[in-house]
Amino acid sequence: MPFTEDNPSLYYEIEGTGTAVLFIPPPAVGHLTFRYQKKLKDVCRIITFDIRGDCRSEKGKEMNMDVLVHDVRRLLDANKIEKAIICGYSNGGCIAQAFASLYPERTLGLILIGGYYEVSSFLLRKEYQIGIWIARQKWLKFLALALSKNHFRSKDAANEIYKEIIKTNPQSLASQYSAGLDYINKHNLERINVPLLLIYGQRDYYIHDYQNLYKEKVRDIEIAYIAKSKHQVPTKHYNECNAVIVSWMIKKSLL
C-alpha cells in the first residue's frame, strides 16, 4: 500500500502504463470512488488517492484549497510524473481546475465530472451545508451509509467503500466541505489553457447551467452527457464514462 513519504502522508494506488490520469474524489469517499476507472489501466496510467483526512490518508494541520492543490502536485512528484491529465469528480473538480490554473506546465488535459466553478446553486449549497453539519456532528457512519448506497449498486462495492469512509477524520472533513463551499474560480477560467472535457449526468439538472461560462471562457472544450445518469456518473455509469474519456483522449492525441 503506497503512501507519500512527506507529511501528511497520502494513500494512493497506481496501475497501468502510458499517459498518467490522476483522479480526484469528492469529500470522504476516497480512492474507491474510481474503482471502475481502473479498467482504463490497459490504455493509460491510473492514479487514485485519498484526500488528506479522508479514509487512509493522514489529516494534516491545514485544510484549504491551496494545500489540496499542493497535494496533487505531491502525488505527481512522488511518482516522478512530469505531466498528467487531471480528472476531478464533483468537489474534486474544484481541486482539479485550481491545479490546472496554477500548474499548467504539469497538466496535459482537464476532465470535470459533474464539475462546477463555484457552489452557487441553492441545492448544491444545501448539500455542502448538510455535509458540514453531519461532519461536525461526527455522524460518519450515517454519512458512510448514505454515500456508499448512493454511489454503488453492488453491495460488495458499497460495503468496501463504507469501511473506508468511516476512517475519515470528521474535523478535516468539515473543513474540506467548507473549502469547497468557499471556492470561486469563475474569474480564472481563462487560465485553463489545456483541453477541457466536461462530463455531466443527463439528469444532474442543477449542475448543467455551469457549462455556459466554461464554454464562454475556455477555448478547447467538449461536453458529454451520460444518458439516464444523475450525479454518480463514474460509479453507476462507468462504462459510458470510461468510453467518453478514452474517446476524448484519442481525439486530443493524449494517449
Q: What is the pTM of this model?
A: 0.97
Q: What's the pLDDT score for residue 1?
A: 65
pLDDT, tens digit, 9 for 90 and up, residues 194-247: 999 999 999 999 999 999 999 999 999 999 999 999 999 999 999 999 999 999
> Which residue intervals of 54-187 are DSSP H helices?
65-78, 91-102, 122-137, 140-151, 155-165, 170-182
Please give the grid coordinates belonging to residue 241: 464514462
Chain mean pLDDT for the chain: 97
Residue ranges and CATH numbers for the domains of the chain are 12-251 (3.40.50.1820)
pLDDT digits (tens, 9 = 90+) for 103-112: 999 999 999 9
| 173 contacts 53 by C-beta, under 8 angstroms | yes
Query: Do β-strands 45-49 and 196-201 pair in parallel, antiparallel, or remain unpaired?
Result: unpaired
- 70 φ/ψ angles, rounded to the nearest 5 degrees: -65, -35
